[in-house]
Amino acid sequence: MSAQPPSQSPAPRVGIVGATGAVGGELLLCLEQRRFPLSSLRLFASPRSAGRSLLFRDEPVKVEALTEAALAGLDIVLFSAGSATSRQFAPAAMRHGAVVVDNSSAFRMDADVPLVVPEVNPAAITAHRGLIANPNCVAIVAAVPLWPLHRVNPICRIIAATYQAASGAGAAAMEELRESTEAYLEGRDYPARVLAHPYAFNLFSHDTAVDPLTGYNDEETKVIREMRKIMGEPELRIGVTCIRVPVLRAHSIALTVEFADPITPEAVRALLAAAPGVRLVDDVAHNHFPMPREASGQDDILVGRIRRDVSDPSGRSVAMFVAGDQLLKGAALNAVQIAERLVG
């Protein structure tokens, strides 16, 4: 890793690694829709995707095969192509003078790599040494609404259950959900290819390896460790169960949160109503609360079902339900927001 953070020009030269994937496509859209002030854009993918063209600002941009040499001449490179690719090519981009914003898990827990959610810990960006990590999607979706509460009344414990969409496993998993649902409705067999279990009309534990000592799978362990790092609370008590559900995009989370001092649902609503990146969807009269269908395509994290946790007589615990677009705020949008901070 480079010892000094490279300086950025007002209109940087930007690259996207993994441009043809689900998150890569969203990165392109975010850069375009947010009018990111770039001077040039280059797109990279595997050799089998090289030569394709993708539209950006109504102009075709040819996809290049990813090599170390090809990453020269860039100021910011957004990586979204998996941990192995990031570990192999991010150091090369940095050696060429670029700042890397990496969406994989490869560097997130490295002590000298900032793990950033701009609504939570934007100051961490200034400590980068050429590399900034984009957190796990669940950690982002949870941290955005929890942070404004934690700042006022410190959080002591979080219990979470996730409802994770196909988008979290990439474009191939989204297509498997579409195809397997069609097959199920037509009475046809559809063997699972991308995920470990049949997806249509089913849900199952996030199919990452389970630690035999703790009983937690890799996804759950990531969420715990990353939430602690993002919030600057290394001893924060967190328990989480991660479940894959047959939803195309947008993750949802049921949260029960214990605070240091008593807190009311009304106080929580007031704090979240003024919080950046959050939108209250908490209509009790019409039983209208956050849904992945409504969160899809939205920049904000939807928060609702805010109520006192009746199992805690101390009045210090509140339950809520949140939903956020995994491809946007859970991945591409968060990375672009980090890049926006880099260019000021």
Percentage of the residues of the chain whose pLDDT score is greater than 90? 95
Q: What is the pLDDT of residue 9?
A: 52
Inform me whether the pLDDT recorded for 4 exceeds 80: no
pLDDT confidence of residue 88: 97
Burial of 261 from C-beta contacts in 10 A (0-12 / 13-18 / 19+): exposed
State the DSSP string of 267-329: HHHHHHHTSTTEEE--BTTTTB---HHHHTT-SSEEEEEEEE-TT-TTS-EEEEEEEE-TTII
For the residues 334-344, what does the mean pLDDT come to? Answer: 96
Q: What is the mean pLDDT of residues 236-265?
A: 98
Give tens-digit pLDDT for 8-20: 457 999 999 999 9
pLDDT band at 3 (very low <50, low <70, confident <90, very high): very low
Given a contact cutoff of 8 angstroms between Cβ atoms, the answer to whether 94 and 130 are in contact is yes
Interval 137-153: pLDDT, tens? 999 999 999 999 999 99
What kind of fold does domain 13-134+331-343 have according to CATH? Rossmann fold (3.40.50)
Q: What is the pLDDT of residues 59-76, one digit of tens each?
A: 999 999 999 999 999 999
Q: Where are the domains of the chain?
A: 13-134+331-343, 139-326
Q: Are the CB atoms for 327 and 249 separated by under 8 Å?
A: yes
Decide if 13-134+331-343 and 139-326 have a common fold: no
Q: How many CA atoms lie within 13 A of 140 on its CB side?
A: 33
SS3 139: helix
The helix/strand/coil state of 27 is: helix
Portion of the chain with pLDDT greater than 70, in percent: 97
pLDDT class for 344, splitting at 50, 70, 90? confident
Confidence grade of residue 337 (pLDDT, cut at 50, 70, 90):
very high
Run of H or E residues at 219: helix 218-231
**Residues known to be catalytic:** 137, 251
* Max Cα-Cα span within the chain: 62
pLDDT mean over 112-141: 97
> Under a CB-based contact definition with an 8 Å cutoff, are residues 199 and 192 in contact?
yes
Angle at 48 between CA 70 and CA 130, to 5 degrees: 35
CATH topology of domain 139-326: Dihydrodipicolinate Reductase; domain 2 (3.30.360)
